[in-house]
Amino acid sequence: MTEAAHVTATRRSYDTVAADYERLLAGQLDTVPLDRAVIAGFAEEVERSGGPRTIGDLGCGTGRVTSHLR
């Protein structure tokens, strides 16, 4: 299937800056206790719900939040 030109341009733009973005945010959550607490609270609610424990961190950048959910 052929991708629309604007979709291709957007994807290429994101691909161009992805490595720099990851370096820029590396360890950022290590310095923000409140953000980590919110993520931990979310994980506890998922656990407590008794439902599926699979969470998708989609379209959210480098997956830096997912690493705190494991």
Look up tokens 């609610």; give the residue.
45
| pLDDT at residue 10, rounded to an integer | 92
* 53 Cβ neighbours under 8 A, 6+ residues apart: 46, 47
User: How far does Cα 45 stand from its chain's mean position?
Assistant: 18
Q: What is the mean pLDDT of each run of 10 residues along the chain (70 residues)?
A: 91 90 87 92 89 75 77
Global pTM reads: 0.63
Report the alpha-carbon distance of residue 38 to residue 52 in Å, rounded: 20
| pLDDT at residue 41, rounded to an integer | 93
| pLDDT at residue 4, rounded to an integer | 94
